[in-house]
Amino acid sequence: MKNRFINQFAVTLLTAAVLVGCGSNNKERTANTPAPDPISEDYQGVWVAPGYGLSVNIGTDSAKIYQYTTDYCFLTLDESELDTTNVERLLRKTDNVDELEWYSGVGTATFGPPGYFFERASSLPDSCQTDLIDLNDVSSTDYDATDLFAMYSQIFEEYYVDFERNNVNWADTIQSAGGELTSSSSNEQLFAAMANTLAPMADSHNYITTPEGLSHKVFTKPTLIENLIEEYATLNGLAYPIDPQILTQQLVDSINGYIVDSLEYQWDIVTGYAASPDDIRYAADGRIRWFKNEGLGYLYVSSMLGYSEVTDDELAITTDTLQKVNVILDNALNDLSDVEGLIVDVRTNDGGYDFVSMAIASRFAQGEYHAFSKQARDGNGRTPLKDVYIQPSTRATYHGSIVLLTSSNTVSAAETFTLSMAQLPNVQLVGEATHGALSNVLEWNLPNGFEIGMSNEYYLSANGDWFEGEGIPVDVAVPFFTQEQREQQVDLGIETAVHLLLQ
């Protein structure tokens, strides 16, 4: 998982207005309530973010947010009674007077990767001037299945990161999947047609969800859960993939039980490498765990999100998350400060925020270094490349020998962390190549309530390598959590890491 830009932008701006006691969702202004000061002229005007299909129109006390393609434009937020403080919870000025950077949700005001860059424009995109669709004032029946499929098709056509990676002919894919849709097709038929377009791209960051709860994505690589389902099928004499027609509630419960038991057993095997289970420390409901034994340390990080209980404001979430992660890392690395070597395990880390990945990587840096770079697809080209540098932390650190354990279940922001750690001379990568889904998610809402997400960015190593789809390679290849390892009650990744660190 990565940051979902457009919805966070809108929600944060709306919440920012509410926080200062104003905004269109508040009570009517009273005679004694002063009007907000005008928004600074530095922010006023029309701004467009190339590569992201976003435009913002900021007035003296208002902001409108649009998401657009060549033929369609969605008004996603129309908020008034704003002041400069509201805007600066989202946007900041750069050295270029004709550029703004959106940072909230990507990081805090002082820490994180580059955000999303808006250029000053003379006017709104053409489609926003002629074909505006107000998502806050639209009925789910205003557009039929063929209209919505056309919108969906053009969004992917213009903003999906790279069809060539999997040799996808998007026009043929659209024709094949949606050729039988008509104006009277149901939402279920529309969903099925859209879902059929995702398979050729094989991208875990592409998805479709509906208000009725339908959801579909196609993973870049088989996940641990898929491997366990296949293993269950083999052990029980079932063909794989399992035919949905034979799925009973009893069979589903049995499969889920097998998955849960297997994942619990995987951790049971890991605990065997601690001197005692009582020596293992847990933080953030087990998202981070650590122990040391015979001069070596083990640090497990299961996610790059979920550390904050704040839910109503994106900037507050990122600030609180960073604060809590830093406290946990202080505790862990102070405990592990005397070990001769450290194993860092992100084999089941399904991602989250890049700024969390950077905060963790900074604890192992001895000097500033180029960690990775990123840019978005922009038509037939790309947006300017943004290099991301990591500064060494001034808090608790570790600079000894490190083995980073990865697997095909190391996804998204955990892959950003892997890119960053791979640049350090004292780090070896052991395990499996990562999942290969590095991009942030660009999210769109359609007029009927369908939500779609897609990859639209290139994440590159410091050397310029692009690992989307294939994953970041390791120095020493070791399979993760195979049935044979479970039968022998060993974790071959940890065994290999121990051997390397004791050489």
pLDDT tens across 393-437, in order? 999 999 999 999 999 999 999 999 999 999 999 999 999 999 999
- Assess whether pLDDT exceeds 70 at residue 5: no
pLDDT tens sequence across 138-162: 887 899 999 999 999 999 999 999 9
CB 289 within 8 A of CB 280: yes
Q: What is the mean pLDDT of the chain?
A: 93
In the block, residue with structure tokens 């003296």: 60
Structure token pair of residue 310: 């704040």
> For residue 17, what pLDDT is reported?
43
> For residue 36, what pLDDT is reported?
77
Kindly state the DSSP code that residue 65 receives in the 8-state scheme. E
- Assess whether pLDDT exceeds 80 at residue 13: no
> For residue 327, what pLDDT is reported?
98
pLDDT tens sequence across 342-351: 999 999 999 9
Q: Which whole number is the average pLDDT over 158-183? A: 97
Q: How confident is the model at residue 131 (pLDDT cuts 50, 70, 90)?
A: confident
> For residue 8, what pLDDT is reported?
54
Of 149, 241, 161, the C-alpha closest to 197 is: 149
The H or E element that residue 100 is part of is strand 99-102
Listed in sequence order, the residues at least 6 apart from 177 whose beta carbon sits closer than 8 Å to its beta carbon are 193, 194, 196, 197
Higher pLDDT, 5 or 318: 318
**Lowest pLDDT segment from 30-34, 124-128, 339-343, 379-383:** 30-34
* Pure H helices in 49-143: 84-88, 126-130
Query: Which residues of the chain does CATH 3.90.226.10 include?
Result: 278-435+473-501
Q: Which whole number is the average pLDDT over 51-71? A: 97
Looking at domain 278-435+473-501, its CATH superfamily turns out to be 2-enoyl-CoA Hydratase; Chain A, domain 1 (3.90.226.10)
- Assess whether pLDDT exceeds 50 at residue 26: no
- Assess whether pLDDT exceeds 60 at residue 169: yes
The CA-based angle 438-442-445, given to 5 degrees, is 150
Q: Which whole number is the average pLDDT over 91-99? A: 95
| DSSP letter for each residue of 356-397 | HHHHHHHTT-SS-EEEEEEEEEETTEEPPPEEEEEPPPSSS-
What is the torsion angle, in degrees rounded to the nearest 10, for the CA atoms of residue 197, residue 198, residue 200 and residue 203? 160
Radius of gyration of the chain, Cα coordinates, nearest whole angstrom: 24
> For residue 141, what pLDDT is reported?
80
pLDDT tens sequence across 298-332: 999 999 999 999 987 888 999 999 999 999 999 99
> For residue 139, what pLDDT is reported?
82
Listed in sequence order, the residues at least 6 apart from 153 whose beta carbon sits closer than 8 Å to its beta carbon are 170, 174, 178
CB 210 within 8 A of CB 449: yes
